[in-house]
């Protein structure tokens, strides 16, 4: 009798363990789906499926760490082609990026591996990213090295020693210093000037795609996975491309877009860096896209000046223009945007070096003050 009871208990414990296992597997599966990833890079225009998708509030790494458990992870000492893996640098919607050594040259490199091949388009987009990067050479854009196509698709590039601005924002727990924000803006605008001249639109300018190099404070733009060359790319027409928190209204509404989407997204990135919070704080992707759907809803966002009262009013005006709903009302070129940022830096430096009491202030002699006073009393 006692053994039957023990067997029964054992049976139920086994059932409980199996159910728990199934539950964990299901959770991991849904987290590994790119639609649940935040920031999202690409998704279909059928918004109904996003109604329940929550935007991540914390660092994206919490979500991404869970994803790591469901995908193969290379560890230090593993090889991929000629590259010997050192450590994981980051991961996103497409796969993982590792720090590695090129065994042929002993050079340190970063290797981006395509892992999440959900459709043939993903492969095409990854190849398009490599194709775009091959043609670029600019100090504020990551340098491309080599594409490898075989069983696995991956490419190598310059490894930037530093932190992406999304991680920097998280570490900082608030706005970055104003002077650094302006420098980041100027350097990114320089990268955009060059890109647009080459006919390339990045379409995903955001803190996570800008790395701030340690010591030098050089800003380096990465991740051209949804970039277009002369308006052409492999994205299917029914897809919305971009990251909802930073994307332009044209991208959100899938209407005709041009390189001015990058001007908007840089404005939105600087909004986040200067206030410590994104321009729109919605809990769902659908909520965010709704904000971008009409001028009235779009313009209801809080101005940077109200969120961070230490910012100069001129910066507030700058963000307003960079993030205008209508592309015609924005800075029309990255050069115009860079010049506006340089003016802001100039006036910041001027006020910073202003002696107490203002410019051209020469202290009056005591005798002069006394003379003034006696005139005043005589009158």
Ligand X SMILES: Nc1ncnc2c1ncn2[C@@H]1O[C@H](COP(=O)(O)OP(=O)(O)OP(=O)(O)O)[C@@H](O)[C@H]1O
Is residue 92 close enough to count as binding Mg ion by CB under 5 A? yes
Which of ligand X, Mg ion, none interacts with 39 (beta carbon under 5 to 8 A by kind)? ligand X
Active site residue 214: yes
Q: Which member of 214, 217, 329, 368 is catalytic? A: 214
- Please choose, out of 13-21, 87-95, 336-344, 370-378, the segment that lies near ligand X by the rule CB under 6 A: 87-95
Residues 198-217 that bind Mg ion (CB under 5 A): 208-209
Q: Answer whether 341's CB lies under 8 Å from 189's CB.
A: yes
Q: Answer whether 207's CB lies under 8 Å from 164's CB.
A: yes
Is residue 223 close enough to count as binding Mg ion by CB under 5 A? yes
Q: Tell me the CA distances in angstroms from 334 to 172, 212, 319, 338, one per residue in order.
A: 28, 20, 14, 6
What is the C-alpha to C-alpha distance for residues 184 and 140, in angstroms, rounded to an integer?
10
Residues 209-238 that bind ligand X (CB under 6 A): 209, 211, 222-223, 225
The contacts of residue 97 (CB under 8 Å, 6+ apart) are 88, 89, 90, 91, 110, 111, 112, 113
Q: How many residues bind Mg ion (CB under 5 A)?
A: 4
Which residue is it, tokens 């963000």? 319
What is the C-alpha to C-alpha distance for residues 284 and 54, in angstroms, rounded to an integer?
5
Question: Considering only residues 100, 113, 141, 142, which one is a binding residue for ligand X as defined by CB under 6 A?
Answer: 142
Nearer to Mg ion, 85 or 222 (CB): 222
Beta carbon of residue 241, minimum distance to ligand X (angstroms, whole number): 10
Residues 94-123 that bind ligand X (CB under 6 A): 94, 97, 110, 112
What is the C-alpha to C-alpha distance for residues 113 and 353, in angstroms, rounded to an integer?
48
What is the C-alpha to C-alpha distance for residues 94 and 242, in angstroms, rounded to an integer?
13
Question: Considering only residues 98, 113, 164, 264, which one is a binding residue for ligand X as defined by CB under 6 A?
Answer: 164
Residues in contact with Mg ion by CB under 5 A are: 92, 208-209, 223
Residues in contact with ligand X by CB under 6 A are: 39, 41, 89-90, 92-94, 97, 110, 112, 142, 157-160, 164, 208-209, 211, 222-223, 225
Active site residues: 214
């Amino acid at each position: 009798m006692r053994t039957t009871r023990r067997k029964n208990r054992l049976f139920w414990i086994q059932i409980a363990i199996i159910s728990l296992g199934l539950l964990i597997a299901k959770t991991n599966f849904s987290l590994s789906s790119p639609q649940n990833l935040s920031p999202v890079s690409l998704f279909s225009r059928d918004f109904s499926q996003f109604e329940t998708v929550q935007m991540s509030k914390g660092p994206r790494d919490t979500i991404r760490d869970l994803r790591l458990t469901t995908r193969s992870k290379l560890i230090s000492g593993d090889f991929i082609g000629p590259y010997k893996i050192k450590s994981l640098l980051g991961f996103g919607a497409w796969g993982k990026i590792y720090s590695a050594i090129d065994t042929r040259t002993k050079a340190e490199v970063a290797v981006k591996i395509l892992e999440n091949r959900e459709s043939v388009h993903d492969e095409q987009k990854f190849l398009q990213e490599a194709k775009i990067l091959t043609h670029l050479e600019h100090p504020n854009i990551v340098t491309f090295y080599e594409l490898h196509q075989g069983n696995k698709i991956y490419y190598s590039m310059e490894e930037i020693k530093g932190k992406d601005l999304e991680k920097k924002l998280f570490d900082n727990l608030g706005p970055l210093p104003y002077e650094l924000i302006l420098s980041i803006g100027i350097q990114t605008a320089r990268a955009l000037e060059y890109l647009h001249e080459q006919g390339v639109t990045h379409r995903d300018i955001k803190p996570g795609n800008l790395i701030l190099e340690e010591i030098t404070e050089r800003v380096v733009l990465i991740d051209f996975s949804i970039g277009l060359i002369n308006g052409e790319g492999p994205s299917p027409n029914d897809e919305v491309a971009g990251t909802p928190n930073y994307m332009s209204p044209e991208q959100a509404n899938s209407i005709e877009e041009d390189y001015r989407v990058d001007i908007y997204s840089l404005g939105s990135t600087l909004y986040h860096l200067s206030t410590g919070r994104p321009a729109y704080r919605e809990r769902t992707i659908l909520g965010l896209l709704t904000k971008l759907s009409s001028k009235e809803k779009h313009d209801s966002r809080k101005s940077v000046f109200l969120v961070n009262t230490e910012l100069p009013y001129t910066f507030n005006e700058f963000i307003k223009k960079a993030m205008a709903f209508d592309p015609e009302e924005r800075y029309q070129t990255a050069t115009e945007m860079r010049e506006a940022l340089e003016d802001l830096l100039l006036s910041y430096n001027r006020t910073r070096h202003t002696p107490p009491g203002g410019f051209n202030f020469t202290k009056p002699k005591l005798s002069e003050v006394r003379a003034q006073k006696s005139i005043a009393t005589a009158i």
